[in-house]
């Protein structure tokens, strides 16, 4: 579809990371994760995308990981409605399956305040996971994010509010293939 006819196009202020850069980086990350897993002799893992934001990232990543894996789901709410800063994370539902004694790869779209990972990693350990590795597509350049231990990072980005590739504003824009910032007008309109 021609972007000119895409009504979301006019809401984009700046493209931070293009779909082509994302695609290349996702393949690199999948390779690195697969290599690390095989090196450690882990041959059956559970991948858990944190919903809803990590859904698209997960779909792309696992198709470049030729290993035996299961998928578990976990939904966390941190940006209720039209907020631009996290309001504190909460696990709202989980279907991770039996992860007792299993090796888990936890995926999130973005590491911002770190509240989500600090909540979810211990929760998975509580459920008996033997090893939990963490992977985020984006990490914001702020001290709170840098202070959180994370195993794989796709891109470090400035401390700005971004949408696309799974990330939303008030649950919109997740389907944009690029990672972008929004115009002030779009932010006002979806409040
Ligand atoms: P944290 O718990 O503050 O690290 O934030 C993680 C969650 O907040 C992510 O899973 C996102 O859902 C959301 N989030 C953080 N920054 C942004 C952003 O710039 N755009 C959209 N969602 C964001
Ligand atoms: Mg999220």
In this prediction the pTM is 0.94
Best CA proximity match to 154, nearest among 129, 174, 134, 172: 134
* Cβ-contact 115, 142 below 8 angstroms: no
Give, as residue ranges, everything with CB less than 5 Å from ion ligand 2: 53
What tokens appear for 85 in the block?
């800063």
Contact 106, 114 (CB under 8 A): no
Gap between the Cα atoms of 106 and 48, Å rounded: 5
Whether the predicted pLDDT of 4 surpasses 70: no
Does 119 or 42 have the greater pLDDT score?
A: 119
Output the six-digit token pair for 9. 């196009």
Phi, psi (degrees; rounded to nearest 5) at 86: -60, 140
Ligand 1 mutation pick, 167, 170, 174, max ligand atoms within 8 A of CB: 167
Which ligand 1 atom is the nearest neighbour of the CA of 113? 3
Q: Residue 159 C-alpha to ligand 1 middle, in angstroms?
A: 11
Give residue 55's pLDDT band: very low, low, confident or very high (50, 70, 90): very high
């Amino acid at each position: 579809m021609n972007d000119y006819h895409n009504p979301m196009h006019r809401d984009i202020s700046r493209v931070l990371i293009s779909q082509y850069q994302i695609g290349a980086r996702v393949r690199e990350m999948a390779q690195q994760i697969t290599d690390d897993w095989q090196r450690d002799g882990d041959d059956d893992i559970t991948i858990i995308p944190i919903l809803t934001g990590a859904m698209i990232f997960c779909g792309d990543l696992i198709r470049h990981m030729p290993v035996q894996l299961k998928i578990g789901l976990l939904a966390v709410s941190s940006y209720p409605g039209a907020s631009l800063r996290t309001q504190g994370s909460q696990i709202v539902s989980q279907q991770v399956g039996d992860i007792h004694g299993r090796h888990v790869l936890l995926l999130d779209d973005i590491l911002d305040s770190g509240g989500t990972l600090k909540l979810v990693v211990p929760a998975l350990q509580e459920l008996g996971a033997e090893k939990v590795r963490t992977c985020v597509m984006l990490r914001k350049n702020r001290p709170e994010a840098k202070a959180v231990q994370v195993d794989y990072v796709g891109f470090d980005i400035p401390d700005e509010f971004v949408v696309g590739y799974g990330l939303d504003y008030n649950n919109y824009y997740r389907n944009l293939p690029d990672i972008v910032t929004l115009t002030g007008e779009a932010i006002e309109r979806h409040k």
